[in-house]
Chains A and B, each alone.
Chain A
Amino acid sequence: MESQVIVVTSGKGGVGKTTTSANVGTGLAKLGKKVCLIDTDIGLRNLDVVMGLENRIVYNLVDVVEGNCRVKQALIRDKRHPGLYLMPSAQTRDKSAVSPGQMIKVIEHLKEQFDYIILDCPAGIEQGFQNAIAGADRALVVTTPEVSAIRDADRIIGLLEANGFKQMDLVLNRLRMDMVRKGDMMSAQDVVDILAIPLIGIVPDDENVVISTNQGEPLVGSDSPAGEAYANVVLRVEGKDVPFINFEKGISFWTRVTGIFHKA
């Protein structure tokens, strides 16, 4: 199988790029894929903490790029999931320590041994973003149903298109169905209508995400609304057609659909 390089991006900070990267990466590894997660947020690394691997960092992405170590030495193996590796970012450097060309070289090297390479993109549209998208061939655009996050996502989609991206999929994070029904939050359909890219996942606002981040163990596949949602995102990344789950038990899908018309 040709390896896939996926960048997880959003423009705006704090919408769930790192959580999505960690969960999609872990989920793919659980399906038996060989996955390499790369934290490209140089200076503000977070993916290691969300993955619970922060104590095992020796070398990082900048060390690889500068030739201080071999690519293999910077990869941290996640003992809980065979086939899952993390390349952490440097904490004491800044984005200019790496160039897009160098990123492409590292990714080309990793492609030989991994099915999926997932790049956790920093917030913003500056060099960190350029580095993260340089070697990727598809993107997961993460947004929340808020005006600011959607505006930034739209800008990111424009930039990805300008950079030749053909496959961009939307992950709508932190959706609250109770607020959607009251007419106080944009629905998934509203956001898809605005951004006009295919929806690959709806992740409900779930306190279990905070708990799992506290514990350093991604919740994908666990018995929680967000865990189930991420498990479905993973299957859709794999190309499987999975119906979107109904997060509110006891409320039919039809009620949700008609609910959209009742509250305008």
Chain B
Amino acid sequence: MKYFFRRKSSCQIAKDRLKILLISDRVNCSPEMMELIKTDIAKVISKYMKIDAENIEIQISTVGGRTDKGAGGKHPMLYADIPILDVTAQEQALNVK
């Protein structure tokens, strides 16, 4: 745990920057397209539950996945962090259907 309190090493900074950089280089996905994906995801999810569409974050990454074989894995993954405001809305949505 103690290294959380240390200053981030420049090596770690370089690795973090490269991870993001290479993913966008490899996927060739423009920020505009990412924005479109984000609004579409928000639209679909909000059919079923009340979400905070403003604060959705999506990113393409190769880290953290279960099938992850290191940052150099050739299969990037799309991650979405979607804050849910009201889970009970889910049942209502189903009832409406």
Instruction: Give me the interface of A with B, judged by CB distance under 8 Å.
Output: 146-147, 150-151, 154-155, 158, 180, 182-187, 190, 192-196, 263-264
Contacts and interface: CB of A to CB of B under 8 A. Distances in A.
Given A193-B70, A195-B72, A196-B70, A154 B11 contact: no
A151 B9 contact: no
Contacts of B11: 180, 183-187, 190, 263
Determine chain B's interface SS by DSSP, over half rule.
helix
A194 B9 contact: no
B25 A186 contact: no
Interface in B1-34: 3, 9-12, 14-15, 17-19, 21-22, 25-26
A199 to B, nearest CB: 12
Contact of B9 (A158, A196, A263): A263
A196 B26 contact: no
B65 interface: no
B72 A186 contact: no
Contacts of A186: 11, 14-15
A194 B72 contact: yes
Determine chain A's interface SS by DSSP, over half rule.
helix
Given A154-B26, A264-B3, A196 B73 contact: yes
A147 B70 contact: no
A194 B22 contact: yes
A183 B70 contact: no
Interface string B64-96: 000000111110000000000000000000000
Nearest to B22: A154
Given A186-B15, A193-B70, A195-B72, A151 B25 contact: yes
**Residue picked from A154, A155, A182, A187, most chain B C-beta under 10 Å:** A154
A187 B21 CA distance: 18
Nearest to A150: B18
B28 to A, nearest CB: 10
Interface in B32-53: none
A196 B74 contact: yes
B65 to A, nearest CB: 15
A195 B22 CA distance: 9
Nearest 8 pairs of A and B residues by beta carbon: A196-B72, A183-B9, A193-B70, A184-B10, A183-B11, A194-B72, A154-B22, A193-B72
A193 to B, nearest CB: 4
A183 to B, nearest CB: 3
Contact of B71 (A185, A187, A193, A264): A193
